[in-house]
């Protein structure tokens, strides 16, 4: 079982444009779609498609369109009522694969909402293989929420605690390392921008241009207490750094349709391979295969295993 927590879920609306976006102009769309989403929800979608047991934990009233969307999709979930509508995010996708996102802030979660969300995640995670804490935090939630929940999971569950993966950015990402090893997760999945923001050892452009440099920065986070860093580098693939080594994985170029959900798919690919006992390099291989497949699909579509091509991924040790 893999439990995911999406603290700030959304209804992701994607509009595919006929031509390049022109600021201030009138745009024509070739299609539009909507899907209940959020980083943790997207990871759970990919796991369900691969036959891996999962439970998505999220805030949301029973009649909220996001929760109804999960019911319609048959995605196992536990939604906690908050008495407010969940947010909608809008993605404008241009023909060349360029995407522009407008993300709403989400509902304000009270201290009691936060306590129940954390308690539900802990209860659901007992004996699970992984707990995935993913996405932005909604208004009213302290930046240290994921760090505190990481500590809570380990303290309350003890030997029954799962491995913990976190995919977030900004202050919530930095807070994971503020309390030292106690709050450092077993896995983090930054992109190049987030890796630069967290380590201050280089820039997004420098890390994407030089994966070895990115691996060096990721190594500093492993030295600070996290078990592994899966850093996605856009078209340059991804690097994985653990206490046992570092690897780079690349995929042949794909025709990009949308980058939305690519990082979530990469994390899901890693967890899927890990749940099947794969080695670290092969977990990275499936991560890049999932991420590349997601880029080739429209909107926030999450690929199935059958749509990925791990055999096309090249993995080298750094």
In this prediction the pTM is 0.94
Q: Which pLDDT does position 293 carry in this prediction?
A: 92
Please, which residues bridge with residue 77 across strands?
56
> Sheet harboring 29-37: ordered strands across?
29-37, 10-17, 87-93, 99-103
Given a cut of 50, the residues of the chain with pLDDT beneath it are none
Q: Which helix (H) or strand (E) holds 173?
A: helix 170-175
Asked if 143 and 175 touch (Cβ cutoff 8 Å), the reply is yes
pLDDT number for residue 81: 97
Dihedral class, residue 162 (left if φ above 0, else alpha if ψ from -120 to 50, else beta) = beta
Say what the pLDDT of residue 98 is: 86
176-190 pLDDT, tens digit per residue, is 998 788 899 999 999
Give the DSSP H/E element, type plus range, for residue 103.
Answer: strand 99-103
- pLDDT at position 262 is 87
For strands 54-59 and 2-6, give the pairing.
parallel
Catalytic residues: 264
272-297 tens-digit pLDDT = 999 999 999 999 999 999 999 998 88
The closest alpha carbon to 40, from 27, 58, 26, 28, belongs to: 58
Whether the CB-CB separation of 96 and 44 falls below 8 Å is answered with no
């Amino acid at each position: 079982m893999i439990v995911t927590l999406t603290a700030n879920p959304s209804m992701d609306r994607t509009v595919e444009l006929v031509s390049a976006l022109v600021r201030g102009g009138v745009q024509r769309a070739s299609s539009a779609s909507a899907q209940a989403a959020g980083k943790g929800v997207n990871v759970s979608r990919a796991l369900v498609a691969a036959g891996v047991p999962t439970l998505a934990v999220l805030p949301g009233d029973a009649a909220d369109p996001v929760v109804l969307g999960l019911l319609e999709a048959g995605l196992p979930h536990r939604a906690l009522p908050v008495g407010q509508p969940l947010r909608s995010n809008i993605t404008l996708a241009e023909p060349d694969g360029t995407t522009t996102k407008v993300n709403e802030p989400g509902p304000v979660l009270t201290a009691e909402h936060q306590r129940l969300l954390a308690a539900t995640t802990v209860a659901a995670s007992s004996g699970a293989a992984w707990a995935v804490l993913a996405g932005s935090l909604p208004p009213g939630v302290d930046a240290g929420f994921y760090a505190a929940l990481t500590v809570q999971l380990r303290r309350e569950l003890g030997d029954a605690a799962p491995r913990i993966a976190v995919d977030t950015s900004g202050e919530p990402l930095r807070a994971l390392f503020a309390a030292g090893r106690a709050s450092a997760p077993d896995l983090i999945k930054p992109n190049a921008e987030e890796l630069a923001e967290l380590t201050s050892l280089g820039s997004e452009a420098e890390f994407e241009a030089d994966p070895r440099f990115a691996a060096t920065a990721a190594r500093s986070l492993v030295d600070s207490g996290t078990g592994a860093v899966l850093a996605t580098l856009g078209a340059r693939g991804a690097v994985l750094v653990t206490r046992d080594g570092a690897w780079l994985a690349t995929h042949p170029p794909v025709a990009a349709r949308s980058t939305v959900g690519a990082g979530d798919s990469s994390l899901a690919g890693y967890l899927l391979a890990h749940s099947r006992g794969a080695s670290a390099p092969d977990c990275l291989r499936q991560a890049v295969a999932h991420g590349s497949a997601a880029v080739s699909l429209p909107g926030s579509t999450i690929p199935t295993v059958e749509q990925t091509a791990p055999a096309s991924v090249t993995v080298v040790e750094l």
